[in-house]
A and B are shown apart, each in its own frame.
Chain A
Amino acid sequence: MAKSATPALLQGTLDLLILHALQRGEMHGYAIAQCIHLLSDEALRVEEGSLYPALYRLELDGAIKARWGLSENNRKAKYYDITARGKKLMTQQQETWSRLSVAVDRVLAR
């Protein structure tokens, strides 16, 4: 089964990015992808193929919650919002990420 050729994100970081993006408030899937894209100065591209499974997984875990609403152009869209549980999860993942990136930097610096 062919996966997308270049994984745009390191495994495990997408969840963190999604949760982080959602801290700014409720938004739909496309907006989340856009948000991450823009915040990374267009360096990171989140594909649907990774985004939606991640969103569904997070929803199932209770880290985010979803509701149907109307989008800015008046279309039915699914809006996601972070939950208390999600905030806790984000803090944990952020710490993990920091430690990891510091460690990786150290290794690469030598």
Chain B
Amino acid sequence: MRRTFLKLFRRRTLHHDLETELAFHNDMAAANGNPIPLGNPSIIKENAFDLWRFNGIENIWRDLVYAVRSLSRSPGFVLSALLSLGLGIGVNTAMFSIAVEFLLSEPSVVDAGSWASVYLGDSNHAKPQVVQFLRDSGVFREVVGENWETSINWNDGRDTRPIFSVQTTKNYLTALGVPLAYGRGWTENDGGNAVVLHHRFWQQHFNADPSIVGCSINLDGRAYTVVGILPESHRTLIGYGLSPDVYLPHSLPDTLLEIYVRLKPGMSLDQGRTALRTLADRLDQAMPNPYVKYAAGIRVTPLAGFARLRQEQGASAIGLFFVVLLVLASLVFLIACVNVASLLLVRASNRKQEIAIRLSLGASRGRLLQQLLAESLLLSAFGAGIGFALAELVARLLASIELPVPVPIRLQIEPDWRVVAYAAVLGVAATLVCGLLPAWQSVKESLTSSAHRERRMRMRRGLVIAQIAVSVIVLATGSLFLRNLLLARSINPGFDVLHTLRADVHLPPVRYSDEAVQKVYVGQALRELAAIPGVEGAAAARTIPFTEESHDSTEFTFPRTGEKVHVRFHWNGVSPGFFRVMDIALVAGRDFNGEDRDGLRVVVVNRNFVERYLKDSDAIGTTFQWGDDKALYEIVGVAAGTKNMTIGEDDEPQLYQPLAQIQNGRPQIQFVLRSATPPQTQLAAVQNVLRRVEPGAGVEVSTMYSSIGLAFLPSQVGAGLMGGIGVLGLLLATIGLYGVTAYSVARRTREIGVRIAIGATRSNIMRLVLAESLRLLVVGSAVGLAIAFFVTKPLAMFFVPGLGAADPVSFGAVVLVLAATGFIATLGPVRRAIRVDPVTSLRYE
């Protein structure tokens, strides 16, 4: 112990000390007539030093210095190895982290595992009274309700705009135990005029000033006191990165709430389900609902983690997407590891001579291993470092991307350090093992036959084939998604998105609860909008395709045949002129007009509706009875129809009603305008007009093109992620292919030299080397394509119609790209091969 410390602290000055001391000794000796003979000063120093040295460690240090020097002599090798490790570890795990955040993040509540989402009568939305009923029953530890599909008009003193609000029950914060960054939140005793701000909203609009707590803000014309700020890390119950702007402790009358319950300790989901069934029976008696029988369709599904994914509808597609993503990510990482391995092997083959010389000069096997270890250690340490840095960088970049969706989504992507560490350990291990292999081999090689060598070569070829096959799979998947994106862009949504604008208007609910007032407003707004210079037409609608959806599933009775038909369709209420403004073709009949008001109820359906429900009978003039009151409707027009929610979906039945003939339950209306000038030039004018007509309304004006961004989102995100991984895989595979080709050329230098010496031409040699890579490429691609064919099958659900999983164009592109990269990767080594000087090469080994 004492020795170690002395060594540590003194060894720096030791050298100097000893020199001074010896010089002094010699001087003294000389002054005294040199009675004692001088020894060899170097040997004395060495002997004195030996004691003070950590031999092993010092050798390692020396090896590291040597390694730095030898690595800096081959920057190409170092760069490829570091790139492989860095990309493999960093980018890959960042992708993985998105998946984890998106799928498995837990909501910011106390003990997320004990919470469950409750379905009554096949719906997880119920009236506030039902929530209260569940709460009063005392069956569950806590019961809360929330509705996040709502907006509220926020007036910041200059402007009014709709913001995303979550309406909740009063016990929401306390029961869930939602942590707050500032303020105390509301309790059940507080009034309804309290609001909690989301961190992002607070940052964007209040400059992250904590003193806002206690002040009031104007929402829907009422003053609300800010009682808390959510922390940046807040995750909603819904998950998926949703970040609404404000939380309110009340809900508007008739708002349906999503029900969440916290199970009592020890209560299983099954027990919860049984208890809920009993409760629902009581509920059906206590508050009968004419439309829903609560006891039918009972579900209790977990709120967090894998369990939620298993239960949630639609989550399986997302889950599958991420499984594919993860598989791809791990394949890419595999490629990276194999890369580093083959690069190191290439290097080793090039320095076999050096190792042999050192061995023959008496270097011990251990000493050689140690030196190679130093090199690998250095590589893997830097590789891992780059990986960590990249992971952080990519995660930050991804988190900062604003998704073009109408709801605020912000994924809190942080690199999952466990995964990064795991990848780093694997990468480092791969490097170390592969780095040590050469030393091991060279030590053994002198003893083994060439047959052994041949077997190793075969193994390495196998490795390359596997690598190419894996790259093909990764690339094929990536290119499928890229092609999907390209196809999706070319698909027509069914209406004009380039020359149109859209205004989303949220009217103050109190004043506009009356239907008539709303209709007057719409009429006046349309008149004023149409008068804006450059506007060719204006229309109003309940929903705009791609931004919102209104689905109906009901029963029509056709009096002509007496037939009762169950129909499903996308519904919309539109004003006259909507089809013209949106450029939706009317294939038969007429548009709505001003007369379609109090008389016969009329509808326009789309072509798909006619094909599906009216068969061959003439659609125009067909009448049907619909609704509880068996009112009679007449089809007056057939429109070409539009896509509804996603660009890739199949055509579905649509039904339009005149806005004047429907009950508009909520004070919200959409305007669409057609502009002769580029639509973005009209944004301000439209905003001003709407502000003038109703100063209290929340108005959001955007070009149609920008507001339907959501439609492209799944394919964009998918293509981005998968394509990114595909490119990453290609990059790594190219590096790998290069490494292996270089290696095989290096191994055959002597052979090539002999061939040149006995008269082989350059093209002979080129053919020789190319044929070898080509063989590897062909076998690898064939294996990869065969696997990719099956692996990508389940992906078909993500793609636009017409794009099958085994898309020949995508797969062909993959093979082409791979062949091209293979060629490029071979080019360098080939050039080296044909430049081989026979004399040098014969001396080579």
Cβ of B215 under 8 Å from chain A: no
* A56 pairs with B52, CB closer than 8 A: yes
Q: Which of B23-67 contact A (CB under 8 A)?
A: 24-29, 31-32, 35-40, 43-44, 47-48, 50-52
* A30 pairs with B25, CB closer than 8 A: yes
List the A residue with the shortest CB-CB distance to B38: A48
Cβ of A53 under 8 Å from chain B: yes
Which one of B14-22, B258-266, B497-505, B763-771 is at the A interface?
A: B14-22
Provide the bound-state CA to CA distance between A29 and B25, in Å.
7
Cβ of B2 under 8 Å from chain A: yes
* B36 pairs with A56, CB closer than 8 A: no
Cβ of B452 under 8 Å from chain A: no
Provide the bound-state CA to CA distance between A61 and B29, in Å.
27
Of the candidates B2, B28, B39, B44, the one whose C-beta lies within 8 Å of that of A30 is B28
In the assembled complex, how far is the CB of residue B41 from the closest CB belonging to chain A, in whole angstroms? 8
* B22 pairs with A52, CB closer than 8 A: yes
Cβ of A78 under 8 Å from chain B: yes
* A62 pairs with B24, CB closer than 8 A: no
Contacts of A34 in B (CB 8 A): 32, 35-36
* B51 pairs with A48, CB closer than 8 A: no
* B39 pairs with A49, CB closer than 8 A: yes
Provide the bound-state CA to CA distance between A52 and B50, in Å.
12
Provide the bound-state CA to CA distance between A10 and B22, in Å.
23
Contacts of B26 in A (CB 8 A): 48
Contacts of B21 in A (CB 8 A): 28-29, 52, 77-78
Of the candidates B2, B17, B47, B52, the one whose C-beta lies within 8 Å of that of A62 is B2
Provide the bound-state CA to CA distance between A110 and B3, in Å.
45
* B18 pairs with A37, CB closer than 8 A: no
With A28-B24, A48-B22, A48-B39 already in contact, the answer to whether A53 and B47 are too (CB < 8 A) is: yes
* A33 pairs with B39, CB closer than 8 A: no
With A48-B25, A56-B51 already in contact, the answer to whether A76 and B18 are too (CB < 8 A) is: no
* A4 pairs with B39, CB closer than 8 A: yes
Contacts of B3 in A (CB 8 A): 60-61
List the B residue with the shortest CB-CB distance to A1: B43
In the assembled complex, how far is the CB of residue B498 from the closest CB belonging to chain A, in whole angstroms? 85
Cβ of B286 under 8 Å from chain A: no
Provide the bound-state CA to CA distance between A76 and B21, in Å.
8
Q: Which of B26, B27, B36 has the most CB of A within 10 A?
A: B36
Contacts of B44 in A (CB 8 A): 48-49, 52-53
Contacts of A73 in B (CB 8 A): 31
Cβ of A45 under 8 Å from chain B: yes
Interface size on A, residues (CB 8 A): 26
Task: Give me 28 A-to-B residue pairs in the complex whose CB atoms sit less than 8 angstroms apart, sorted by A's number.
Answer: A4-B39, A28-B24, A29-B25, A30-B29, A33-B25, A47-B37, A48-B22, A48-B26, A48-B36, A48-B38, A49-B44, A49-B47, A52-B21, A52-B48, A53-B51, A56-B48, A56-B52, A57-B51, A60-B3, A60-B51, A60-B52, A61-B3, A62-B2, A71-B24, A75-B24, A75-B27, A76-B20, A78-B20
With A33-B36, A56-B48, A60-B52 already in contact, the answer to whether A49 and B28 are too (CB < 8 A) is: no
Cβ of B6 under 8 Å from chain A: yes
Cβ of A64 under 8 Å from chain B: no
* A45 pairs with B36, CB closer than 8 A: yes
List the B residue with the shortest CB-CB distance to A45: B36
Mark A20-47 against chain B: 1 for CB-CB distance below 8 A, else 0. 0000000011100110010000000111
Residues of B within 8 A of A (CB): 2-3, 6-7, 17-18, 20-22, 24-29, 31-32, 35-40, 43-44, 47-48, 50-52
List the B residue with the shortest CB-CB distance to A75: B24
Provide the bound-state CA to CA distance between A48 and B39, in Å.
6
In the assembled complex, how far is the CB of residue B22 from the closest CB belonging to chain A, in whole angstroms? 7
* B48 pairs with A30, CB closer than 8 A: no
In the assembled complex, how far is the CB of residue A89 from the closest CB belonging to chain B, in whole angstroms? 14
* B40 pairs with A49, CB closer than 8 A: yes
Provide the bound-state CA to CA distance between A37 and B29, in Å.
13
In the assembled complex, how far is the CB of residue B501 from the closest CB belonging to chain A, in whole angstroms? 86
The 4 closest A-B pairs by CB, nearest first: A49-B39, A30-B28, A53-B47, A56-B48
Contacts of A61 in B (CB 8 A): 3
Can you name 18 extra interface pairs (CB under 8 A) apart from A4-B39, A52-B48, A73-B31?
Answer: A29-B21, A29-B24, A30-B24, A33-B25, A34-B35, A45-B35, A46-B36, A49-B39, A53-B51, A56-B51, A57-B51, A60-B3, A60-B52, A61-B3, A62-B2, A75-B24, A78-B17, A78-B24
Provide the bound-state CA to CA distance between A48 and B19, in Å.
12
Provide the bound-state CA to CA distance between A75 and B21, in Å.
10
* A76 pairs with B24, CB closer than 8 A: yes
* B40 pairs with A47, CB closer than 8 A: no
Provide the bound-state CA to CA distance between A29 and B27, in Å.
12
Provide the bound-state CA to CA distance between A40 and B24, in Å.
23
Contacts of B35 in A (CB 8 A): 34, 37, 45
Provide the bound-state CA to CA distance between A37 and B25, in Å.
15
List the B residue with the shortest CB-CB distance to A77: B24
In the assembled complex, how far is the CB of residue A63 from the closest CB belonging to chain B, in whole angstroms? 12
Provide the bound-state CA to CA distance between A4 and B38, in Å.
10
List the A residue with the shortest CB-CB distance to B29: A30
* B24 pairs with A60, CB closer than 8 A: no
Provide the bound-state CA to CA distance between A34 and B33, in Å.
12
Mark A50-88 against chain B: 1 for CB-CB distance below 8 A, else 0. 001100110011100000000101011110000000000
List the B residue with the shortest CB-CB distance to A49: B39
* B36 pairs with A47, CB closer than 8 A: yes
Provide the bound-state CA to CA distance between A76 and B20, in Å.
8
Contacts of B17 in A (CB 8 A): 78
Contacts of B36 in A (CB 8 A): 33-34, 37, 45-48
Provide the bound-state CA to CA distance between A37 and B33, in Å.
14
List the A residue with the shortest CB-CB distance to B24: A77
Contacts of B50 in A (CB 8 A): 53
Contacts of A48 in B (CB 8 A): 22, 25-26, 36, 38-39, 44
Contacts of B52 in A (CB 8 A): 56, 60
Contacts of A76 in B (CB 8 A): 20, 24
In the assembled complex, how far is the CB of residue A78 from the closest CB belonging to chain B, in whole angstroms? 5
Provide the bound-state CA to CA distance between A3 and B337, in Å.
51
Q: Which of A4, A49, A76 has the most CB of B within 10 A?
A: A49
Contacts of A75 in B (CB 8 A): 24, 27
Contacts of B47 in A (CB 8 A): 49, 52-53
In the assembled complex, how far is the CB of residue B4 from the closest CB belonging to chain A, in whole angstroms? 10
In the assembled complex, how far is the CB of residue B448 from the closest CB belonging to chain A, in whole angstroms? 35
Provide the bound-state CA to CA distance between A33 and B32, in Å.
12
Provide the bound-state CA to CA distance between A43 and B29, in Å.
17
Of the candidates B6, B37, B43, the one whose C-beta lies within 8 Å of that of A60 is B6
List the A residue with the shortest CB-CB distance to B3: A60
Provide the bound-state CA to CA distance between A59 and B18, in Å.
13
Contacts of B22 in A (CB 8 A): 48, 52
* B27 pairs with A52, CB closer than 8 A: no
